[in-house]
């Protein structure tokens, strides 16, 4: 796989991970979940998925691991979103 094709794959998988994250967190928050809890749930699920992918890779770094692990799971699991939701919640309590 060429470097350009690999970069495109990581980018497309990242877009899919972002859309998945948005759909899941939106679905959970409309069902009464706090935004921080919904983000935490997505982060945990993505981390478990990444761990499974690493086990399947067996110590190698195939192209599919870069695409799915870095692209999809990287976009799906962003600690910064959870930190932002937590900070907003703490500010709301003080205000």
Residue 27 three-state SS:
helix
Comparing CA positions, the residue from 48, 8, 40, 6 lying closest to residue 24 is: 40
Say how far apart CA 21 and CA 39 lie, in whole Å.
Answer: 8
Helix, strand, coil % over all residues of the chain, rounded to 5: 85, 0, 15
pLDDT, tens digit, 9 for 90 and up, residues 16-52: 999 999 999 999 999 999 888 888 899 999 999 999 9
The arithmetic mean of pLDDT across residues 49-56, rounded, is 95
Whether the full predicted model's pTM is greater than 0.85, yes or no, is: no
């Amino acid at each position: 796989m060429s470097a350009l094709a690999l970069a495109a794959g990581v980018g497309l998988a990242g877009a899919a991970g972002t859309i998945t994250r948005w759909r899941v967190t939106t679905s959970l928050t409309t069902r009464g979940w706090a935004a921080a809890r919904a983000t935490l749930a997505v982060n945990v699920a993505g981390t478990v998925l990444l761990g499974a992918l690493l086990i399947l890779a067996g110590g190698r770094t195939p192209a599919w691991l870069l695409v799915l692990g870095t692209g999809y799971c990287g976009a799906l699991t962003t600690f910064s979103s959870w930190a932002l939701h937590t900070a907003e919640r703490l500010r709301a309590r003080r205000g």
